[in-house]
Chain A
Amino acid sequence: MSNWIDIAALGDIPQRGARMVKTALGCVAVFRTGDDQVFALDNACPHKAGPLAEGIVHGTSVTCPLHNWVISLETGQAQGNDEGQVATYAARVEEGRVLLDRAFLRARVAA
C-alpha cells in the first residue's frame, strides 16, 4: 500500500485558497499557494480555533478569518508578536494530484 493518500486534483483547490479534509479526529485544511505548493494544517487557529481554511492565503502564509493572526503554512507557527502553533502534515503534488502522507492519520490519532 502506498504511503500517500490521493485526496483530489490540484485544480479542486483554488490558487491562494484552501479546502477542508474531514478525518475521524476533526478537520484538516489543505492549502494551495499562488505558485501551486500545497500544505496541510489542522483547521484550527492557535488563537481561538478560527477555521484557517477560510483565511486569505498570501505567499506561504494564511491570515486567520477571525482575528487576523498570520500563520506560516510551512511551520504552522504564528507570525509576528503572536505566539502559538498548529500541527502540520506532509502534503505534496504529483501529476496534478494532491497527496497527503498516510502517516498523518496516525499522527492525528496520537495527538
Chain B
Amino acid sequence: MTTRLVVIGAGMATGRVLEHLFESEAGYDVTLFNAEPRGNYNRIMLSPVLAGDKSYADIVTHDADWYEVNGVTCRFGERIAQIDRVAKTVTAANGDVVPYDKLLFGTGSNPFMIPLPGHDLEGVIAYRDLEDTERMMALGASNKVVVIGGGLLGLEAAAGMAARGVDVTVVHIMAHLMERQLDEAAGYLLRKALVDKGITVKCSANSKEILGENGHVRALLLDDGTELPCDLLVMAVGIRPNTALAQEAGLAVGKGIHVDDQMVTSDADILAVGECVEHDGAIFGLVAPLYDQAKVAAQTLTGAEAAFVQKELSTKLKVTGCDLFSAGDFMDGPGREDIVFRDPGRGVYRRLVIADNVVVGAVMYGDTADSNWFFGLIRDKTDIAGMRDTLIFGPAYQGGTPLDPLAGVAALPRDAEICGCNGICKGQIEDAIAAGATDLGAVRATTKASGSCGTCTGLVEQVLAVTLGDDFVLPAAQSICACTDMTHEDVRRMIKSQRLTSMPAVWQECGWKTSCGCHVCRPALNFYLLADWPLEYRDDPQSRFINERKHANIQKDGTFSVVPRMWGGITTPNELRAIADAADKYMVPTVKVTGGQRIDLLGVRSEDLPDIWADLNAAGMVSGHAYSKGLRTVKTCVGTDHCRFGTQDSTGLGIKLEKQLWGAWTPHKLKLGVSGCPRNCAEATCKDIGVICVDSGYQVSIGGAAGMDVKETELLVQVTTEREAVDVIKAVTQLYRENAKYLDRIYKWMGKVGLDWISERIVDDLDSRMALVDRFEVSQSIYRKDPWAEHASTRAETYRPLANLSLEAAE
C-alpha cells in the first residue's frame, strides 16, 4: 500500500528529502505544493543569475521529467491555505481539499522588511526569489539602487547589479560589513574591494524613511538628513522562519516550527525541514544543515533510525573578486587566543581564534585557498599544539615562512608619496637607486627625499632595503610597539600617502601583527587619524587613556579631578561661587589652585562627574582639558590693563588664544603663556609656545618646557599685530599636529625637524602659513566644543554602574 505524502513548499530542503525518499523506493505517493509558480531550483544560485553568470535554466534542480518519472503530482503556483489535522487534509488556495497520511513542511522563511515609513511603496523589494531577481535584472546603467543591509544577501545583490552598470549604494547599520561573519580587518578589505567595483558603501548609517512619489519609491532618507535617490530599494536585512500556517494548525512553534532530532513536529504525522524549523533552540539560514535535515527526514519517513546533529558552519560570499571565508563562532567563549597574518601587498588577512589548542574560529580574506583545511580543523577539533607556530600559513607551509616586516612598503605603488616635504614618490626613489644611489645619503642627494624634516628617513631606508635586498642593511629602528615593525614616522607617512582613514585600514596596510592593536599603539593611531582626517575619521574613545575618555584626571584611589577652564587665568565672583557650591554639593575633599592659573577640584566620584559638569556648565564654565594631549592653559599676566610696564594687552591676547585653540588635540600637551613685557611674569619662555609683548609688537617663541626637561623657547618670529600673532600660533599648532610623533612635545619635535624647517613654512611662506591656519580651522569646526556638556547630556549613563546587585541575595 502506498502512503500519501503532501509536501508544502518546493524549496531546497524538500527537494533533497524527495531525492532521498525516491532512492529508497519506499512507495510514497507525493503531492508537491509550491506557492512560487515553479518547481525546485537552487535558490543560492540566484546571485550568479543576477550577476549574469548563469541563467534560470542552469539552476533548476528538478525538471518536469523528474517529477513525472517519480510520480509527483505537481501543484505549482498553489499555496496551501489551511490544514485540518483531525481529518488529515490540506486545503489549497483554490479550495481543493487533499488528504494526507504524512505531511512535510518546507515553507522556508520570509524576508524581514523593516517597517520604515514608506516600506510598502512600489519599488521596495526583498531578495528571495526569481521575481525579485528579475526586478533587479531589469535595471540598467541609467538606474540608481539602494540596498539596505551589508550582509551576505545585500552584498550579493549589490555586486550583481553593479556588474550590470547600475549605480548601487549599500546602507549598513553596523560599523563594518558582514559583522556577524567578519571582524573589522576583513570587513575593511571587503569594503575596499566593493568600492573598487564602483559600489558606494555607507556604514554606521541609520535609515529613517523611504520617500516616494506617486506611490513609487524615490529615495531613502537617513537619520543624518542624507537623501539617497533610487529607482529600486532592496531590503536585505534578515529572514524570519515562515511559520504562520503551522501556527494556525496548532503545531508547537517558537522562533520556528519545533522539531525533534527526527525532524518530527509536535504532531507525529507532520515533519518539517529547512529554514522554517527550530531545532534545539537554533534556526537555520544556510543550506548545509538543511541538507542534513533532509536526509534525516527521509530516513524517518522510511522508518530508518536517524538523528539530526548541528555542526559548525562556514560562510563564503559569492561575489567575484571578494574571496572571503569565515567559520566558527566569534561571538563568545572564554579562554581564547588570536593568531594573525597580514600581507598588505596581496591584500591578504588571516585570523585564527584558538581555545585550548583547538581552532574555534577562522576569518580569511584575499587568499581562501586553505579554508577547507582550516574548516576541517575546526570541525574535527584537531589538536594543533604541534603545528602552532606555522599553523597560520596553511597546510602547504608547515615549516614556515617568517612574517616580512617590509611587506607594507613593498606593497606601495610607485606613485605613493614618501617624502611629504619635497613631494618625492616611491618610484623616483627606485629610479634613483637603479641609477646608482645605493645608500641613504646618495638617495637624499639625488632626490632630496628625507632631506628636509627627515621624518620619512625610515621609509626611504625601507625602499632601499626592498629594492636592493641583502645589499642594504636596514638600521634598527624603534617600532611603535610589538604590534608592528614600523616606526611612528613611517606609520604617519603611510596614513597620509595611502589615505588610510580608519584603524583597520592602518592595521592591514601596515601589516599589524595583532588583530586590534594595544594600549601603546591605539592612542597614537587615534591621534594621527583624527589629526590627518578630521572630517572622515571619528574619534575612538576606547583607544584613549581613561583621562581623555572620561574628560577628567584619574587619581590613585580611582576618583577623578575636575578643572574648569578659566580663560587666560581670569575668573569672576560668579564662577568662584559656582565652584564653591559644587565643592560643597559633591563633597569634594580637596580644592587646589593649580600651577596653571585655575582651580582643581580633586576627589570627585566617577558617577558624579556628569552632574558636577552640568552644574559648572550652568555657570558658564567648560572643560579645562587638564587631562588632554591637547591645549591645556594659556597663562597670562595683567599687562596693559593694570601693570605700569605693560606694552600690550597680554591678558586679552591670552583669552583670545585660549578661545581659538581650546578643544584641539595635539601630539602631547600644549601650554601657552603671554607676558606683557620682557619681565615675563607669565613664564612665557618656558611654555610650548610663548608670546612676549614689546612696544613694537609680539615676539612668538616656541619649544619651551619646564617639566622633566627645562627648556627655554627659541624665537620664531616677531610680528606687529595681534592678528598675525594668533595666525602664527595656529599655524605652528597645526604644523605640530600634522607632523610630530605622538608624545613628542614641541621642543622634542623641533629637535628633530629643526627651527629652520618650521620657520620656512610659517615665517617665510605666507601661503603655507594661511593654509595651515585653514586646516586648523577645519579641524576645530569639529573639535572646538565642550566635551563635558556633550557627555553630561548624552552619555551620563556610561559613568554610572551598569547594574547594582548589592541587594541581590547570594544564598
- How far, in Å, is B443 (CB) from chain A's closest CB? 37
Interface mask (B337-372 → A, CB under 8 Å = 1, otherwise 0) = 110000000000000010000000000000000000
**CB < 8 Å: which of A57, A66, A93, A106 contacts B554?**
A66
If A14-B542, A35-B183, A109-B810 touch, whether A19 touches B334 (CB-CB below 8 Å) is no
Does residue B86 face the partner (Cβ distance < 8 Å to A)? no
Interface stretch of the complex, out of B132-140, B312-320, B543-551, B635-643: B543-551
> Which residues of B256-296 are within 8 A (CB) of A?
none
Q: How far is the CB of A4 from chain B (nearest CB, A)?
A: 12
Task: Output the nearest chain B residue to A91 by Cβ-Cβ distance.
Answer: B334
A37:B805 contact, CB within 8 angstroms: no
Residues of A in contact with B (beta carbons under 8 Å apart): 5, 7-8, 12-17, 19-24, 27, 30, 34-39, 48-51, 54-61, 63, 65-66, 68, 70, 74, 90, 92-93, 105-106, 108-109
Which residues of A are found within 8 Å of B338, using beta-carbon distances? 59
Query: Does the CB pair B806–A8 fall under 8 Å?
Result: no
**Distance of A63 Cα from B803 Cα, bound (Å):** 23
Contacts of A93 in B (CB 8 A): 331-332
Which of B330, B331, B332 gathers most chain A CB within 10 Å?
Answer: B332
Q: How far is the CA of A12 from the CA of B302 in the complex (A)?
A: 51
Contact in complex: A54, B802 (CB < 8 Å): no
Complex Cα distance, B541 from A53, in Å, reads: 14
Are B805 and A5 closer than 8 Å at their CB atoms?
Answer: yes
- Binding-face segment, B12-20, B514-522, B774-782: B514-522
Asked whether B519 lies within 8 Å of A55 as measured between CB atoms, the reply is yes
The residue that A65 contacts in the complex, of B334, B546, B798, B809, with Cβ under 8 A, is: B546
B402 within 8 A of A: no
Q: Which residues from B are CB-within-8-Å of A108?
A: 810
Quick check: B516 and A59 within 8 Å, CB to CB?
Answer: yes
CB distance from A7 to the nearest CB of B (A): 5
Q: CA separation between A21 and B801, bound complex, in Å?
A: 5
Q: Is the CB of A12 within 8 A of B802?
A: yes
Beta-carbon contact of B332 and A22 below 8 Å? no
Which residues does chain A contribute within 8 Å of B806, judged by CB atoms? 22-24
* A105→B810 contact, CB < 8 A: yes
Instruction: Give every chain B residue within 8 A of A36 (Cβ-Cβ).
Output: 330-332
Residue B333 lies at the interface, judged by CB distance under 8 Å to chain A: yes
Across the A-B interface, the 3 shortest Cβ-Cβ residue pairs: A105-B810, A63-B519, A19-B802
Is B68 interfacial (CB-CB < 8 Å)?
A: no
Q: Which residues of the partner chain B approach A92 to less than 8 Å between Cβ atoms? A: 332
Q: Is B164 an interface residue (CB 8 A)?
A: no
Residue of A nearest to B807 (CB): A24
B184 close to A34 (CB less than 8 A): yes
CA distance A7 to B332 in the complex (A): 16
22 contacts between A and B (CB under 8 A): A14-B542, A15-B542, A21-B805, A22-B801, A23-B806, A23-B808, A24-B806, A24-B807, A35-B330, A37-B332, A50-B558, A51-B554, A54-B549, A54-B554, A55-B546, A56-B519, A56-B545, A58-B514, A59-B518, A63-B518, A66-B554, A105-B805
Beta-carbon nearest neighbor of B802 in chain A: A19
Nearest CB on A from B759, distance (A): 37
Complex: A103 Cα to B491 Cα, angstroms: 47
Q: Which residue of A lies closest to B559 (CB)?
A: A51
B311 proximal to A (CB < 8 A): no
Given contacts A5-B808, A51-B558, A108-B810, contact A58 B519 (CB under 8 A): yes
- A24 — which chain B residues lie within 8 A by C-beta? 805-808, 810
Contact B541 A8, beta carbon cutoff 8 Å = no
How many whole Å from A97's CB to the nearest CB in chain B?
Answer: 11
Contacts of B334 in A (CB 8 A): 37, 39, 74, 90
Distance A22 CA – B802 CA, assembled complex (angstroms): 8
Q: A68 near B519 (CB under 8 angstroms)?
A: yes
* Chain B proximity of A21: nearest CB distance (Å): 5
The residue in chain A whose Cβ has the minimal distance to the Cβ of B355 is A74
Query: When chains A and B are docked, how far (Å) is the Cα of A15 from the Cα of B519?
Result: 14
- B335 on the A face (CB < 8 A): yes
With A24-B806, A55-B519, A68-B519 as given contacts, are A38 and B332 in contact (CB-CB < 8 Å)?
Answer: yes
